[in-house]
């Protein structure tokens, strides 16, 4: 029996570990395990970039002080859809996989079955992320149009969260039987053995792992640390991926502005920190999915986070952590962590079930199995 031939069509190169924070790379690796994969990575011509900037982006910026996401403009999507159709005339595939690239699907007329994967609809992220605010009304209309068309034209939508699924149904009119919610996995090359994991429960080592201080709730995380100290708990805090906008003068806080997981030495540094972490503390303000929660669960680390966006697809109550209400302050976060710190049995049980959830659902092998099940019925 011949192997399935899959076309991987996206906006970035799936051989690059940085593409979509690693999700392109790790999904590509999974597809290669059972199929022949054709990468369809279309170049962005200089003339198109200059045209969109000159006639769309700059006028909105200069005259209206509005932002423009050129990749959500109809001319951009129309061009790339035509290029994709041309490529598929030359490359015959059995199935097309399109992660987070509605621009390549919206205005196509494809004969090949298509699995569209993403973590949010364009409509639901308007104003949700700080970076997705103040766009021109025309840009928003075009973005919603092409995004909705992509969802509708896909043979099946493989969505990364229940949050995204609800928007696809309520905002875009998709039927539920066209959607599967399939969590992403941990974007890690090394997964620790169970025997390596920290489960002693005698310490309170916190980790804030994020690139964006404000969006990920850095101020709440920092204040949570201080609240725990006030409760007499000898907590420590690692801040990795960003630099707090306030001065840090506490020896129990370590700030590492950046660690590159693709650099073996820096990954080993992160690996050792994760092995010595008791809680992932991430009071995020906006989150479409949550690869970091998969990674924490792989290390048996409970996540203390926020019930927002797609978080609860990844953080299950009292299974691999807790998602507190969006209006929860540092005191509530500190109370939750202190209650676990003072109950070693509960903490150890949470660590165990965190790792179990990773092994059952929050890993790329599980994602691959669901992909194959979906592909088999298209």
pTM exceeding 0.85? yes
Domains, the chain: 4-184+364-376 (3.40.50.2000), 194-360 (3.40.50.2000)
Question: Which of 259-273, 293-307, 324-338 is least confident?
Answer: 259-273
Q: What is the pLDDT of residue 349?
A: 96
2 has pLDDT over 90: no
Model pLDDT for residues 39-68, shown as the tens digit of each residue: 999 999 999 999 999 999 999 999 999 999
198 has pLDDT over 80: no
Q: What would the DSSP string read from start to end of 104-161? A: GTTT----S-EEEEES--TTTTTTTSGGG-SB-HHHHHHHHHHHHHHHHHSSEEEES-
CB 357 within 8 A of CB 297: yes
For the CA atoms of 153, 158, 163, 165, the dihedral, rounded to the nearest 10 degrees, stands at 40
Q: What is the pLDDT of residue 1?
A: 58
User: What would the mean pLDDT of 272-290 be, rounded to a whole number?
Assistant: 96
User: What would the mean pLDDT of 251-262 be, rounded to a whole number?
Assistant: 94
């Amino acid at each position: 029996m011949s192997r399935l031939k899959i076309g991987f069509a996206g906006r970035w190169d799936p051989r690059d570990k940085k593409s979509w924070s690693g999700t392109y790379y790790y999904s590509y690796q999974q597809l290669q395990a059972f199929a022949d994969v054709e990468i369809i990575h279309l170049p962005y011509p200089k003339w198109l970039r200059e045209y969109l900037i000159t006639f769309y982006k700059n006028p909105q910026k200069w005259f209206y002080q509005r932002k423009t996401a050129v990749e959500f403009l109809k001319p951009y999507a129309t061009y790339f859809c035509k290029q994709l159709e041309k490529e598929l005339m030359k490359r015959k595939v059995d199935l097309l996989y399109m992660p987070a690239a509605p621009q390549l699907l919206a205005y196509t007329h494809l004969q090949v079955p298509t699995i569209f994967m993403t973590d949010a609809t364009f409509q639901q992220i308007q104003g949700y992320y700080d970076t997705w605010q103040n766009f021109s009304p025309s840009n928003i209309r075009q973005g919603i149009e092409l995004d909705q068309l992509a969802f509708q034209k896909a043979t099946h939508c493989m969505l990364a969260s229940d949050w995204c699924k609800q928007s696809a149904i309520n905002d875009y009119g998709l039927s539920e039987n066209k959607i599967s919610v399939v969590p992403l996995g941990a974007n890690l090359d090394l997964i620790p053995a169970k025997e390596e994991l920290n489960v002693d429960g005698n310490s309170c080592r916190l980790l804030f792992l994020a690139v964006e201080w404000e969006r990920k709730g850095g101020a709440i995380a920092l204040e949570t640390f201080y609240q725990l100290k006030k409760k007499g708990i000898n907590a420590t805090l690692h801040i990795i991926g960003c630099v707090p906008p306030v001065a840090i003068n506490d020896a129990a806080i370590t700030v590492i502005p950046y660690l590159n997981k693709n650099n073996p030495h820096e990954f080993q540094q992160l690996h050792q920190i994760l092995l010595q972490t008791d809680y992932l503390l991430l009071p995020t303000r906006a989150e479409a999915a949550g690869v970091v929660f998969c990674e924490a669960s792989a290390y048996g680390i409970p996540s203390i986070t926020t019930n927002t966006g797609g978080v609860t697809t990844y953080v299950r109550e009292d299974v691999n952590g807790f998602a507190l209400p969006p209006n929860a302050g540092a005191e509530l976060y500190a109370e939750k962590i202190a209650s676990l710190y003072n109950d070693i049995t509960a903490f150890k049980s949470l660590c165990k079930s965190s790792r179990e959830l990773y092994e059952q659902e929050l890993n790329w092998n599980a994602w691959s199995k669901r992909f194959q099940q979906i592909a088999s019925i298209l």
